[in-house]
Structure 1
């Protein structure tokens, strides 16, 4: 964690938004139509609601017109470093990734599940029989981004990809106290996908990983506790811990789950933006609950157009933080 220094400039707001479509993987049915909508959705939200300037939002995207730098591994790593360069207390940062996420076997014993979470740049080396290479690991995301945020700064990460629950390797998670996830498709405030859009639904992760056997898949908590946003947390005993930066990771699903998108973009980015436009001052708990309900309703609506064998599982959004859940749940977001 960098040592805070005296401010030499006004606080800034800076964002990096990455969207990968993978047109080169179309032969494997791994291309993701719709991801290019996500940076627009997110950047419009940041500019319209949270007073970011468009010139301070960097977009990496594999568009055919080459209007943006392509999200190669090299370009992503460079942009990540530039995002948090010279970070100071009072600054606000946002990092966003829409594309494929996956799990790879952990080789150094640092992951309790036995797997590392990774994201795929556009130059991922993918062979259907020989696996993948050239991905970006959760350890690198943590080292390059999280470790360079000083106390007093604010940093929000958004991962709209499969297997993304702990994509930034933050120590505290909402996994054991998920908000309720109703499965009714009725009365959602989010515009539901059209029948045509439903045809274009595509999972944002590798099929091999999502089809892992029960013995081979990472095991997650099965806590039956139900979180209520208004529940008092003051009675939960906590040990005194050193002050840390306001760093959170908002993921479309847990590590052992898949998520999906359509031609309109990712369901997670859409749900998150809708919730924050309705109520920008929501607490972390309220936002997690709102997004979870939206995604449950959208998934139920999509499944109305599918057979039982084709039905999609409901992704469970996950919130992770440097601060304890006790500290942030009832605290409004500071974007």
Structure 2
């Protein structure tokens, strides 16, 4: 059994390591231990010896679709996911504070003019149903019941932003009543990478593109020295555990590319940049949205912006205490930090749900009857673009509103959302848009 935390031995150094140095050495030692033990697979923050799991786990077998659906329904019932909380009994409601943002529905979608600007888009929303239940040892890669809601919300956000998406790809393993607006594909590694290539192929000045991902993400040790924290970030495709060749992915009989696709090897920030951003010409606008853990630098951009959250505010959030009277992020300035990013000629904006070192929760929307699974960042983005609090919000206003709502409505796991850009910009200067230069 591998230990989940390996403390680096610093007794011979004669000096005390900083917290960052300690964590980096700890991660390196853990990875070395795992690599020595056998085949490594990274899922979010969890590393598992996949080869050993296949050899020794008698419970391993592909499940039928009916069995998978039954297990998900049982998980919903077990967690009380269909019960309506008693909002009126909560202390912050008794104090006369405004309702939490997840109690406020997104306004009705206005009609999009036929001559509205066009955005070419790829939307990825895996549920990981097969990933969780086909291999018991990988059970900590949780099923994301909010994937349908996340895809619905980003589509609504695009409509509120008054853009058309005649070229649209949706990658999901989620079913939706009434179906999706276009035929959808499975969010496998191969399909996600090919959709990224499709998104940017033949891009020319004046084009506007969108890549959206709501799912699991993780970190692994940086191997080329381009990360300040020594960690690469990656998004997690689905595992194809029911594929007839799945077991062959571990015996060396398949080409690496096919094996990686079947086991759902993460798509790293280096790969994301190389496929989508590296060769985009000047004059193209690309927006990337990563509603996931460890997401701040998934686009590897050089300029990062966030709303300053003070230490006492973070401490209050972690104690699950309501904000003090008069609390507001509305006029708070953004902080700008240059990070170790890559050069990109295009105009690129990346919205991330948290810092690279942070994890992020999914969330349920309480605004309608019952509960609807959703992703917090995407839901708050749609509400900000709809102008629920600030008409015609700037890029900075959108970030302030999301940060405010993260603080108020996601206090169980407070994380810091951010924008990052390919070049330094004034995010207060222009209204938010999915089209045009920043």
> CA shift at 1:144, angstroms?
1.3
CA 1:231–1:250: 2 relative to 1, 3 Å: closer
Q: Does 1:33 align with 2:133?
A: no
> CA shift at 1:244, angstroms?
4.1
| TM-score, reference length from structure 2 | 0.54
- Matched with 1:282 is 393
CA distance in 2, matches of 1:232, 1:270: 24
Question: Where does 1:1-335 land on structure 2 (aligned, <5 Å)?
Answer: 12-24=118-130, 25-26=132-133, 27=136, 28-29=139-140, 30-53=142-165, 55-63=166-174, 68-123=184-239, 134-175=265-306, 178=308, 183=317, 185=322, 229=332, 244-263=345-364, 264-278=373-387, 279=390, 281-300=392-411, 312-324=412-424, 326-335=425-434
Indicate the structure whose relative CO is greater, using CA pairs within 8 Å and at least 6 residues apart: 1
> CA shift at 1:133, angstroms?
6.2
CA distance in 1, matches of 2:221, 2:301: 19
Report the secondary structure of 2:191's partner residue.
helix
Whose helix proportion is higher, 1 or 2?
Answer: 2
Structure 2: tracts of 5 or more residues without a match: 1-115, 242-249, 251-262, 337-342, 365-372
Q: Deviations over 1:186-217 (max 9, x none)?
A: 79xxxxxxxxxxxxxxxxxxxxxxxxxxxxxx
Report the secondary structure of 2:122's partner residue.
strand
CA distance in 1, matches of 2:293, 2:344: 31
The answer to whether the 8 A contact 2:161-2:433 is kept is no
Report the secondary structure of 1:50's partner residue.
coil
CA 1:247–1:280: 2 relative to 1, 3 Å: farther
- Matched residue pairs, number? 263
Structure 1: tracts of 5 or more residues without a match: 1-9, 188-225, 234-241, 301-311
Which of 1 and 2 has greater Rg? 2
The answer to whether the 8 A contact 2:304-2:420 is kept is yes
Structure 1 segments, 4+ long, off by >4 Å, are 64-67, 179-187, 226-233
CA 1:124–1:282: 2 relative to 1, 3 Å: farther
In angstroms, what is the RMSD of aligned CA positions? 3.3
> CA shift at 1:318, angstroms?
1.6
